Amino acid sequence: GKEVAVLSGQKDVQRVVVSRDGKWLATSCAKGKLGIWDLGKRKLLHLFDAQQARGFGMSFRPDGKQVATVGVDGVLNVWDRATGDREAKVDLSMDLTRPRSVHFTPDGGTLVVSGTGRGEAIVWWEFVGGRLRGSVDQPRGAKFLDHRCAALSPDGKVLATVNNATIQLWDLRERPKPP
């Protein structure tokens, strides 16, 4: 519970995510900037325009080499952590008008994106080769609520979404077939 450092160099930070090995930090701010930090050196390595949306979702690939971002603009990006270069870009707005969260699966080969809007879906995007693996709409009779955030279980089998009053759990073990 003791403060060990204060990091400065990026204003209006709204979200943070730490890599699994604890070496890297990614931050997003109100103006759509992505910050990549070296936690060992307590140093900001990169600060650049990443999304056209504020407070966008982020996830480190399990090996810490890439950071995925997704914003309410419907764009999914994958960035190289070391250089800050964009490695992939996919427009998901046909499936999700307002993506809220992105998570790498434990093997690092797939991104799970959830959001609301036109499709109100959970979308799988295969990272290798940059193709959309498929999407699944809400189960019949279930209401996919306008969630604020989501979390993926460590084994990648369950996605939890939450709004102000409800927590929903989604079974991700059976993925849809590719389109």
Look up the pTM and report it: 0.82
The two structure tokens encoding residue 47? 């600060």
Q: Can you list the residues of the chain whose pLDDT is less than 70?
A: 53-55, 95-97, 116-124, 128-148, 164, 174-179
The two structure tokens encoding residue 134? 């498929």
Q: What is the pLDDT of residue 150?
A: 79
Q: What is the pLDDT of residue 97?
A: 65
Q: What is the pLDDT of residue 38?
A: 96
Q: How far apart are CA 135 and CA 122, in angstroms?
A: 6
Q: How far apart are CA 23 and CA 92, in angstroms?
A: 30
7, 42 contact by CB (below 8 A): yes
Q: What is the pLDDT of residue 24?
A: 97
Q: What is the pLDDT of residue 17?
A: 94
Q: How far apart are CA 151 and CA 159, in angstroms?
A: 6
Cα-Cα end-to-end distance for the chain: 48
